[in-house]
Amino acid sequence: MAYARERVQSRPVDGSINASAPIIHHPDVKRMLMTMRAYTEGCRAMATVAAAAYDAAHHHADADTRKQNQAFYEFMVPLVKGYSTEMSLEVASLGVQVHGGMGFIEETGAAQYLRDAKILTIYEGTTAIQANDLVGRKTARDSGQVAKAIAAQIEKTEAELARQGSAAARAVGKRLTAAREAFAEVVDFVTGQIKESPNAVFVGSVPYLMLAGNLMAGWQLARSLLVAEALAKAGTDTDFMNAKIITARFYAQHILNKAPGLRDSIVDGAESATALALDAF
């Protein structure tokens, strides 16, 4: 953000400045910065919620509540490890892109972040290992019961967004519903095909991880929007709360909306992913 505020190049396309301007005035740079912001806040929120569930699983007074939180936490672990690390790589790559040519050399340090971020997708056992865990131990083993219970919680958030009724809440609710429905269809596909067609299921394991992680991060930002709108209305830290609202809406409309496409790849695309003979590669 600091570089984007300082680097001067080209006039804004809307003519708002009649001279070369800092690149943060350009729409595509704003889009990249918002993407970096949304991924970062979404993944942080997802990790924080998982950590809270871990604490409740170990320290809550009620045994059933401990059990529910343990199940939720265990489902979230591969998402926090897999989705967050993959998206950190995306964020670092966008950081290089914002810097342009300066990002590809050592002076700014942006390229070092990109190189460092790549190892994150390997350190945790590689993304595919996390995805296999999500498919096998976290979804198929209990016939998708925990996954479906989480989907039911997300549906409650959708209802809250509908009651809230603001333009931002409606926009986020629309995308959250579509993503949750895509997730539910994939869970049914995984549990229904795991024994009969394991290759068809596991070829879509990483896309499933990306869909589930995207949904969970988007869900947490939707929850943050509900709180932020209430606090903004009360006059509490209005600028900060408005930024939270805008970020949640951006995530829904630019990132969460990818979920249905991932569903199509997983459910409809297995055959094409495995059809090519080994000696044809």
Backbone angles phi, psi at 8, to 5 degrees: -100, 125
> Roughly what angle, to the nearest 10 degrees, separates helices 259-268 and 167-193?
10
Measure the CA–CA gap between 128 and 134, rounded to whole angstroms.
10
Measure the CA–CA gap between 103 and 80, rounded to whole angstroms.
28
What are the catalytic residues?
A: 124
Nearest to 26 by CA among 15, 13, 8, 40: 13
Element (H, E) at 40: helix 27-59
Indicate the burial class of 11 (C-beta count within 10 angstroms; 0-12, 13-18, 19 or more): middle
